[in-house]
Structure 1
Amino acid sequence: MFWVLLLLPAWAVAGLACLRLCLAAVRAAAVDPGAVDREHALTLYEAAFLAGGPRRVADLTMVSMARQRRLLLAHTGWATVVDPRGRDEMERSVIGAIGPGGQSRIAPVRAAAATAEAVRSLADRLVGAGLAVPDGTRSIAAGVRRVRTAAVTVCALGAAALALPLPADEPRLLIALWFALPLTLTLGCLAITRMEVHPYARWASPAGQRLIGALVRHADGTCDDRTYLTSVAVRGVHAVGEPDLRAAFAHREEHTWEHAEERRRRRI
């Protein structure tokens, strides 16, 4: 009966994951995204948010300021303020995140600027225009990932239970059927979610995705500064052309990964 000790966590993982996904779907259904503004002309900040979320907005702001020589992004992963007068709320958020010393690492600046009030206001406006998905729908995307993980966990626990030495009076088929129940729960939940709320995009609604596509098509064939920043907004820092800037953001990604690994080791 040792396999029962594996069946209980399988049910717990599957049940909790499906419950959280259902609650997220209920919250999303209760949110009125508002009428879609089909005549809305996306700004670069809005395009960055719809394509990559708050952190993409922070990246775009820093790249834009660096190209105007008002912010120095060193290849070592440090940001230095050259012009302390921000031209809009996003730039002022980045300058404020760097701090009064005028210099900071890029990773914490990006994280702080992404949670600034200017980005939250931008997100609210896009949700109100029907171009961005509300918080509840974003929770659905995370909930789907949790249910998928739960399904894999149930399969792993079932395989471990079947690998245990069992008495002759305990047929393995019956054990497999017991584990098939929580697996069916997770797969059924995923199927229903896909039929009801797919696509569960991370940031942009279907209308927002169409506007991003139109923005990219209109920018094709031109080589001005706005086109360059549009590529950064839609594709992220991988679209940065300057080697020094690429090195600065690559160092940022490496630094962030090292901190994530350190936090993971501490949890373990």
Structure 2
Amino acid sequence: MFWVLLLLLAWAVAGVACTRLCLAAVAAAAAEPRDGYADVDAGPGHDLTLYEAAFLSGGPGRVADVTMISMARQRRLLLAHTGWATVVDPRGRDEMERSVIGAIGPEGQSRIAPVRAAAAGADAVRRLADGLVRAGLAVPDGGAGTTVAAGMRQVRAAAVAVLALGVAALLLPARTGMPAGLVALWFALPLTLCLSCLAIARFEARPYSRWASPAGQRLLGALARRPAGEGDERSFLTCVAVRGVRAIGEPDLRAAFAHRDQPWPPR
């Protein structure tokens, strides 16, 4: 009867994950009237900067990416296709650029990956995040959006775990005469619970973003719908801020990020 122990474990995993998701959804619904980022009128008339759009779309790492790409387009930072960054102009024009230059170090050259990580954790990015949270455009750490999203990830993981436990039970050499179909049916019950919770959360819960609040998502949507001029530098950087480095059309610049983990410096 070892398969019964696996069944109990499957129920425990599914029950805990689904309970956490339900509690998170209830807490999110209760917190909506108090959360500034849930206010429909949050951020009216706010014109997102490139850094703000980058943070709301992709978080601190996206801000670092946009900063380095902007400096590279202005020929003040060289991003080699081998994945290394070299400072050309050591004078940063704002806090973000100074954070990137400081992350590269006094030698003026470093791999892109550690520069990105250091710049993403800089004080300038934290201040940017705090300002967006106060404006009601970003989700605070531990906010309802991140809690619900984490709960959904846990339920998805629980569904995979239940499926794996069911397969393990079916592969047991002896089930004391229990038909395989009946064993599979027992494991289908906790799996159905997980899938049902995911379906309900998908259709009933409002869409959450890891970084942007609903008000921030509306501003991002409006920003993405703006017409872009051909060859417009700001339009290019806005596209990168919203979509990430995959929006880069320049082969050499795209290669710098695609191969940023190369262990050798550019020649």
Q: Give the TM-score of the pair, scaled to structure 2.
A: 0.83
Q: How does 1:110-121 map to 2 (within 5 A)?
A: 110-121=116-127
> Contact conserved, 2:136 with 2:213, CA < 8 A, in 1?
yes
**How far is the alpha carbon of 1:131 from its aligned partner?**
2.1
C-alpha distance 196-219 of structure 1, shift in aligned 2 (>3 A): same
1:227 match: 235
Question: C-alpha deviations, 1:66-116, integer Å up to 9, x for none?
Answer: 111211111111111222221111111111221222211101111121122
Q: Which secondary structure state, in structure 1, belongs to the residue aligned with residue 259 of structure 2?
A: helix
* Match of residue 129 from structure 2: 123
Q: RMSD across aligned C-alpha pairs, in angstroms?
A: 2.6
Does 1:6 pair with 2:6?
Answer: yes
Query: Aligned in 2, Cα 1:120/1:20: closer, same or farther, shift over 3 Å?
Result: farther
1:33 maps to what in 2? 36
Deviation (angstroms), 1:27: 6.3
Which sits farther off after the overlay, 243-252 or 116-125? 116-125
The DSSP-based 3-state class of the residue aligned with 2:89 is coil
Q: Once the two structures are aligned, what percentage of the paired residues are identical?
A: 74
Distance in 1 between residues matched to 2:158 and 2:114, nearest whole Å: 32
From 242, 248, 252, the counterpart of 1:244? 252
Structure-2 change in CA distance of 1:181 and 1:241 (3 Å): closer
Q: C-alpha deviations, 1:13-72, integer Å up to 9, x for none?
A: 324433554565466554723441121101011111122221111100000011112111
1:93-150 deviation line (CA, Å, top 9, x unaligned): 1112212222111011111211222222222222222222333312422331221121
**Which residue of structure 1 lines up, in the alignment, with residue 176 of structure 2?**
167
Q: Which residue of the partner structure matches residue 113 of structure 2?
A: 107
Distance in 2, Cα, partners of 1:20 & 1:84: 49
3-state secondary structure, aligned to 1:3: helix
Q: Distance in 2 between matches of 1:23 and 1:152?
A: 21
How many residues are aligned here? Answer: 254
Task: Return 5+ residue gaps in structure 1 as ranges.
Answer: 257-268
Match of 1:142 in 2: 150
- After TM superposition, the runs of 4+ consecutive aligned structure 1 residues lying more than 4 A away are 22-31, 171-174
Corresponding residue for residue 65 of structure 1:
71
Deviates more, 1:222-231 or 1:21-30: 21-30
Describe how 1:206-217 pairs up with structure 2 within 5 A: 206-217=214-225
More helix by share: 1
Normalising by structure 1, we get a TM-score of 0.82
